């Protein structure tokens, strides 16, 4: 793990996402293993052995797929990449950062600062993008984590129930719980006192929360990621092979290596090889037409939750890792979407027309005012009322 690559991977771990995710896995797994020994001793019965082996298996498989998704990465479009046929360049977008064309299904990630093959999204929990190479590992992690947490939750509940039941003394006038020792089980492998009970209860909460949160992510990830656009034309997603099984086989293979090279993709019958990129170019042009020009009337430092821009702006900051852009009075911004107290757009740093360099991000709505246009382009941002 030496050299620049190894250092980069260590830095990938030193992020709040992996630290939180791995802490949850370690706490739930360690507590579940200790509780499994207390509840169902693995060396006495076949059921106890199966329970213990399954618990270890969940942990190993969850960590294996998690680290695969993190360290294998999504795969990047080669720097300077161009299609084999030069005439195909007209169907593709050009990335000024990577100095290459964006291959079909690829997208430039501002976090990774590279064009990612078959980019799905940048996931903070693995501090990496989910894309062509790690799509299967990421999806398996989202599936195995809730299953493992459900098993661990069952162990937590059964351990707390049996241990408390063994410590209850029933009297004529009162019921007492003695946490110092079990009254009906002479074997004390691991001490189970108040601290162990609190740890099991805490781990149960983590496991249930993870089951709900990660389970919802898996359901979203498992759905067909087809984008529908509001245009007059009927758009057919070209990479839907017509059956879920065929789509499944493109991601999950026996070798663990996804099909293809991440640059060229099979398309369904009747679709052009660049159907999606052509549609993306249309949408990009339409988005630029619908953009509204604003001028900054206040300075904004670019902080996530600005204290000086009002209480509502502070508490309604967008829940996203998308960047904020700093504004100086007089800056011009092309806004493309907006919330009640925030807007998203591109700051024009060089007013040389379409070739200008732009910086995108969120900024407080109260820091800008709308520029005056002719009536044909004077349109409100999505989500903005026509009368303000």
Which residues participate in catalysis according to the annotation? 123
Specify burial of residue 33 (Cβ count, 10 A radius: 0-12, 13-18, 19+). middle
Specify whether the CB–CB gap between 95 and 76 falls below 8 A: no
Query: What would the DSSP string read from start to end of 244-284?
Result: HHHHHHHH--TTSPPSS-SS-----TT--TTHHHHHHHHHH
Q: Which residues of 179-211 are buried (b: 16+ CB within 10 A; e: fewer)?
A: eeebeebeeeeeebeeebbebbeebbebbeebb
Alpha helices in the chain (DSSP H): 3-13, 16-39, 46-67, 135-165, 194-222, 244-251, 275-290, 311-315
Q: What strands, in cross-sheet order, belong to the sheet with 332-338?
A: 358-364, 342-348, 332-338, 292-296, 368-370
CA distance 369 to 298: 10
Closest CA to 336 of 371, 289, 375, 369: 289
């Amino acid at each position: 793990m030496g050299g620049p690559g190894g250092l980069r991977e260590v830095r990938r771990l030193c992020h709040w996402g992996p630290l939180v995710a791995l802490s949850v896995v370690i706490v739930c797994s360690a507590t579940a293993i200790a509780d499994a020994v207390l509840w169902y001793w693995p060396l006495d019965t076949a059921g106890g052995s199966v329970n213990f082996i399954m618990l270890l298996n969940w942990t190993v498989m969850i960590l294996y797929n998690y680290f695969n998704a993190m360290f294998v990465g999504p795969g990047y479009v080669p720097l300077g990449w161009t299609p084999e046929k030069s005439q195909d360049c007209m169907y593709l977008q050009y990335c000024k950062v990577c100095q290459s064309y964006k291959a079909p299904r690829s997208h430039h990630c501002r976090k990774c600062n590279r064009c990612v093959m078959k980019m799905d999204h940048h996931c903070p929990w693995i501090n990496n993008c989910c894309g062509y190479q790690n799509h299967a590992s990421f999806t398996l992690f989202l599936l195995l984590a809730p299953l493992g947490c459900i098993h661990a939750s069952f162990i937590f509940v059964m351990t707390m129930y049996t241990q408390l039941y063994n410590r209850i003394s029933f009297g004529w006038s009162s019921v007492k719980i003695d946490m110092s020792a079990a009254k009906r089980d002479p074997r004390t492998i691991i001490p189970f006192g108040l601290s162990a009970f609190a740890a099991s209860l805490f781990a149960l909460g983590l496991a249930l929360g993870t089951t709900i949160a990660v389970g919802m992510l898996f359901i979203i990830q498992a759905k067909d990621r087809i984008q529908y656009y509001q245009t007059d034309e009927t758009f057919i997603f070209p990479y839907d092979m017509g059956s879920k099984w065929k789509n499944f086989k493109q991601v999950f293979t026996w070798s663990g290596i996804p099909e293809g090279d991440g640059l060229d993709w099979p398309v369904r019958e009747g679709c052009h090889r660049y159907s999606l990129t052509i549609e993306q170019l249309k949408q990009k042009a339409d988005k630029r037409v619908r953009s509204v020009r604003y001028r900054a009337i206040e300075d904004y430092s670019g902080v996530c939750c600005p204290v000086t821009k009002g209480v509502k702006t502070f508490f309604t900051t967008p829940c996203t890792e998308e960047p904020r852009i700093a504004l100086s009075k007089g800056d011009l911004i092309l806004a493309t979407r907006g919330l009640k107290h925030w807007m998203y757009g591109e700051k024009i740093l060089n007013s040389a027309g379409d070739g200008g360099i732009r910086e995108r991000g969120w900024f407080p709505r109260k820091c800008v005012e709308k520029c005056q246009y002719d009536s044909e382009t004077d349109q409100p941002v999505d989500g903005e009322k026509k009368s303000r």
